Amino acid sequence: MCGRATYKLTWEEIVALYRLTLGQPAPHNFQPRFNVCPTTTIDAIVADDGKRELIRARWGLVPNWWSKPLKELRLATFNARAETVAEKPMFRSAFKRKRCLIPVSGYYEWQDTPGGKQPWYFTARNGSPALTIAGLWDEWTDKETGKPLKSCTMIITEPNEFVAEVHDRMPVLLDQSDFEPWLREGGKALLKPAPNDLLQKWSVSKRVSSSRAPDDDPTLIEPIRLQ
């Protein structure tokens, strides 16, 4: 799964990378985040009539048909499996009509070891500030308050050989050439493992295993030497 990420992009980098429609003001104050967790608010890129824009969305999809209070949505919907995303009730509607791109700077995975779960940090090998994960989004309205809520999920798939050394799943990482096909409702053929040379990885402190680890602590991604 992909349950923790980092985000160090500037507004200028996002506009250039995702070719956002000109004239959009920065939607928030961009600050580096080193412990992005499910249910927090993240950025996603959506397209409407050929125009791309950035939205703010809850990480953890709430389908528009959900009829109960949000607190009763106990399923983990921050990841959707590529193999079943088109059929699962929680995701199939969004898969047909609500595609998005989810930018991150890197992500964490945990390896089972005799000493417990060891976190590893994955980021672009070429030093790019962004990885782009294939995602879905939707908008749900809280019946109690009448307020709309945008939300999203990251799609995960089987690992490539490089990631499989640590974990049995990885996010679907899109190349820039895949952005338009995916947003235009491209098929499941895009939902495949990334090339083995796309990522680099290193072990990091177990402090990141806690969702309470500070979001603004850059030492969370510092390499450590395993004993």
Structural domain includes residue 164: yes
Domain span including residue 172 = 5-221
Structural domain includes residue 226: no
Structural domain includes residue 92: yes
* E strand intervals along 5-114: 5-7, 33-36, 41-48, 51-59, 79-81, 99-104, 106-113
Q: What is the pLDDT of residue 24?
A: 74
Assign residue 148 the CATH number of its domain: 3.90.1680.10
Q: Are 149 and 58 in contact (CB under 8 A)?
A: yes
**What proportions of the chain, in percent to the nearest 5, are helix, strand and coil?**
20, 35, 50
Q: What is the pLDDT of residue 5?
A: 97
Q: If you count them, how many residues does the chain have?
A: 227
Non-local (6+) Cβ contacts of 214 within 8 A are 34, 35, 220
Other beta carbons less than 10 A from residue 179's beta carbon: 21
pLDDT < 50 stretches in the chain: none
Q: What is the pLDDT of residue 53?
A: 94
